[in-house]
Amino acid sequence: MFRNALVYRIAQWDPPSLAQINDRLDAERFAECGAAQTESAGWIEPRGERHAALAEAFAGRLILKLCRETKAVPASVVRSLLDERLDAIEQQDGRRPRGRRAREIKDEIVHELLPRAFAKRRTMLVWVDPGARWVVLDSANAKQADAVLTRLVQVLGGGLRLAPLQTALAPATAMALWLRERDAPAGFSIDRDCELKQADRDKACVRYARHTLDIDEIAAHIAAGKLPTRLALTFDSRVSFVLTETLALKSIRLLDVVLEASDDKGFDADVALATGELARLFAALIETLGGEDAAAQPAPAEPLAA
């Protein structure tokens, strides 16, 4: 279910009841873009069934889903039509519009074309876990995540405050140590993909894909000042993922040993399986990175009311 993961700590929250949360989400339900709109966002049913709950609860955990729709007119089309109109005005009036007037004409063209523009939709799963005191977004893009977090804080209420998960040991430092010593931490194994980048203005970068990483060349790159920004790992032979320097997880995949052991199918089983495996992974990864930064650890959150 989760292809990526950004983890945020719940620093403070007095959660409303589940019924109240669903009412709040319903007020922010997704509606597709209007004819002249370039963007629309709102909450949809995680289960994928019309009129189902917008907040699905499982053993104290909540699963939400945000949908974002965007419409854009190709820039090349706008430029072509703009040139045509500017040429026509120049021939008629003897002067070519520039500056503010040219921008107004461009805006008019975009407004005219928007009703015919194709819409693109993207969805993002959100896992809210008051017991574990974290919120997990199915994203590895911090900028996109910030926009979702703003909506989440508003819709969940209860004075919700979130902070990025911070560990005592920086991921880049830990990954450099594992690669240099050719030894993965307990419970993890190093896979065959990594990226190393120079920490200077030039940002010189080396990438290895489907390549053994147990080689002197990588240790030499690290000795020369390059730091890992991405490293493919497997946890407990059950979950593969790519760890980044920002503590984002990418390309998450439950391995066959996990999927084959589950006879249950459907949304509920998928949620239970994914959140259960990822909860174990997060806990092990935090421990491997020296635990959480003591200064950043929040107070416990209250349990979710029914």
Per-residue model confidence as pLDDT tens digits over 182-218: 999 999 999 999 999 998 888 889 999 999 999 999 9
Rounded to whole angstroms, what are the CA distances from 148 to 46, 151, 249, 287?
15, 5, 17, 27
Q: Which two structure tokens, joined as six digits, stand for 184?
A: 């993965």
Among 273, 177, 270, 163, smallest CA distance to 231 is for 177
Q: What whole-number percentage of the chain has pLDDT above 90?
A: 73
What's residue 57's pLDDT?
92
What's residue 305's pLDDT?
52
Q: Which stretches does DSSP call E strand in 209-271?
A: 226-235, 239-244, 249-254
- What is the arithmetic mean of pLDDT over 260-282? 88
Q: Which two structure tokens, joined as six digits, stand for 120?
A: 């693109």
What's residue 44's pLDDT?
96
Q: How confident is the model at residue 306 (pLDDT cuts 50, 70, 90)?
A: very low
297: pLDDT strictly greater than 60: no
Higher confidence at residue 200 or residue 175? 175
Distance of CA 132 to the CA centre of its chain: 19
- What is the arithmetic mean of pLDDT over 226-250? 96
- What is the arithmetic mean of pLDDT over 32-39? 86
Phi/psi region, residue 245 (left: phi>0; alpha: psi -120 to 50; beta: rest), is alpha
What confidence tens digit (pLDDT) does each residue in 47-79 have?
988 888 999 998 889 999 999 999 888 899 999
Q: What share of the chain is helix, strand, coil (3-state, %, to 5)?
A: 35, 30, 35
- What is the arithmetic mean of pLDDT over 102-125? 90
What's residue 38's pLDDT?
86
Indicate the DSSP class of residue 209: S
138: pLDDT strictly greater than 90: yes
- What is the arithmetic mean of pLDDT over 101-127? 91
Q: What whole-number percentage of the chain has pLDDT above 70?
A: 95
151: pLDDT strictly greater than 90: yes
Whole-model pTM: value is 0.83
What's residue 296's pLDDT?
55
Q: How confident is the model at residue 86 (pLDDT cuts 50, 70, 90)?
A: very high
